[in-house]
Copies of this chain bind each other. A is one copy, B any other.
């Protein structure tokens, strides 16, 4: 009966080109490699290599068997990975909830290296409003949440700051508000406002309704689209609209007393319902190496955080 080790030696010889090179690669004696191949050949009653010359040449039958040998070793690697996850008690699944207006490709690039590091763990990314994210983490349905922070102390969850997001008051270029050199609160109140409101009908504390005419939507992208179609004005995250402003399909209104929009903190909530495992630990480290800076995610400066 042949062994996993013999198959591994067989594959390594094919990849290395010679018995001695394989031995060096495997950190074994060359004679052991020679014996392992000879024993495998005896075991399966097939000549795998032609040894007429100085270097072994894979036989036709050896070529036919090589892919299956690789397949077996691949399955064995999966078994070993499963073992490792059982031993180290890696999380089988990790749920990250994030405010829908904070997620972009930069943020996903923070997460993706974790897939290579923890190939067995399933990740779920839930995009929701800040209030819903908070509830998901509080209930333990998500281990990690990323939200706009309201400065209120969380007593049942851990929290750390990730940065600041800028909110900007916008309108379509054709809107009447766009023709004003300065926009007062009274001006804003005269036109329809497009307001973000969660499923729980909660409005963010810095973009709540002040007009009498309001259209609600439960995600910021819809708000942006309504404004682009001339439905009214809104205060929205700069992350979502910076390209539209450059292209001229939206304009930032010059609102009195708001020289550069409104900054609001972005933070990370961590559930206390979950035992901390290696995957969650790694995720938190990854997040702490990055920050939200007004309109984009960026690598955090190397400061002394100890």
Residues of A within 8 A of B (CB): 1-5, 44-46, 61, 64-65, 68-69, 71-72, 75-76, 78-79, 82-83, 86-87
Contact = CB atoms under 8 A, between A and B. Distances in A.
Nearest to A86: B61
Contact of A72 (B2, B64, B69, B76): B76
A3 B5 CA distance: 9
A82 B61 CA distance: 9
Given A1-B4, A4-B4, A46-B83, A71 B75 contact: yes
A44 B5 CA distance: 16
A79 B48 CA distance: 14
Contacts of A72: 72, 75-76, 79
B78 A68 contact: yes
B76 A64 contact: no
Nearest to A5: B1
A87 B45 contact: yes
A65 B79 contact: yes
Given A69-B79, A79-B72, A64 B45 contact: no
A287 B1 CA distance: 38
Given A68-B78, A71-B75, A72-B75, A83 B5 contact: no
Contact of A83 (B1, B3, B65, B82): B65
A89 to B, nearest CB: 10
Nearest to A74: B75
A248 to B, nearest CB: 56
Given A72-B76, A78-B68, A46 B1 contact: no
A44 B1 CA distance: 21
A282 B78 CA distance: 39
Given A64-B82, A64-B86, 16 more contacts: A1-B4, A1-B5, A3-B3, A45-B83, A45-B87, A46-B83, A61-B86, A65-B79, A65-B83, A68-B78, A68-B79, A68-B82, A71-B78, A72-B76, A72-B79, A75-B75
A195 B298 CA distance: 77
What 4 A-B pairs come out closest when comparing CB atoms? A68-B79, A72-B75, A61-B86, A71-B75
B75 A68 contact: yes
A83 B68 CA distance: 10
Nearest to A78: B68
10 contacts: A1-B3, A1-B4, A1-B5, A3-B4, A45-B83, A61-B86, A65-B83, A65-B86, A68-B79, A71-B75
A64 B79 CA distance: 10
Nearest to A71: B75
Nearest to A79: B68
B87 A46 contact: yes
A90 B168 CA distance: 73
A75 B67 CA distance: 11
